[in-house]
Structure 1
Amino acid sequence: MKTIKRMMEHQLWANRELLSGVRESGKDNREALKLLRHIAVAEQVWITRLSGESSGKLQLWTDDAELASLTELIASNESRYAAFMDGLTEERLDDIVTYANQSGTVFHTSIRDILTHVALHGQYHRGQINRVLREASGEPKALDFILYARLS
């Protein structure tokens, strides 16, 4: 349980750091914003499913990302995940969540596997955003877990 909680705390910290990096770049980098939006909406999708609600109305990929709306969505996700994690026990980690993906296909997945996926999925795309920032002469953000561990 402690490891999953640390992974989720890192994920939320890394999102804030990367949002700051995109903001600091001072550029309207559409690719970085699109990827950051994808991370935020994917996290919204999963917390919605973990809450027993349908995520069918949420679009994972669009080209209309704006920094202000992403800031709000990331803050909302952080609040929702924090509340979910506060109420989660070791015994519930292997509970099965039944949900439909964006195409309507039904799946059954443990809470443990969903949270692990959320943490790893975000890490992949944050790396892509850092590459985009570097290519646009921006400053990539250091987001490794070990840095988070040293700071916390």
Structure 2
Amino acid sequence: MKWLSYFCLFCLFALGCKKDEEKPKTFDELVQGVWNVTSDKTEYFDAANNKVYEESTTNNFKYIIQNKNIITNNGGTIAQYATYTLNEQNGKKYINLIASGLNSIFEVTNLTDTKMTWQQENFNVVYFEGGAQKTATKSIFTIELEK
């Protein structure tokens, strides 16, 4: 009988002690860290929303994001400093970069522990294709980053 009591007590203890569920990281926590740019591209669209041109850049930029500050470094001696704010509106997440002469808002369209995508939509954009200057109704600039 004594063993049965111990067994019941053990079962009660074992079943009653659950590991706390891990709390999901906040937008701010997920953004923090060292991010490497894996690609950046700009897509240009006409008035009918057809993509008319795309350009991409290969670079080795690194974004160090911490404590409301961003340091961008190209792997060499060039470093730029900015502050940022985070905002959520209508279920969408935004990062606003603020530096001398710069105030640029990107929508954060993808954000996990290891991947992040920023997009910025602009209108009536001038671009060059084959040496000729052209104007697009809109452009979408996309930056993909990985930790």
Name the TM tier (shorter chain). Answer: under 0.3
Q: Higher helix fraction: Structure 1 or Structure 2?
A: 1
Task: Name the larger-Rg structure.
Answer: 2
If the length of structure 1 is used for normalisation, what is the TM-score? 0.26
Q: Higher strand fraction: Structure 1 or Structure 2?
A: 2
If the length of structure 2 is used for normalisation, what is the TM-score? 0.27
Flag the structure with more relative contact order, 1 or 2, with Cα contacts below 8 A and sequence separation at least 6.
1
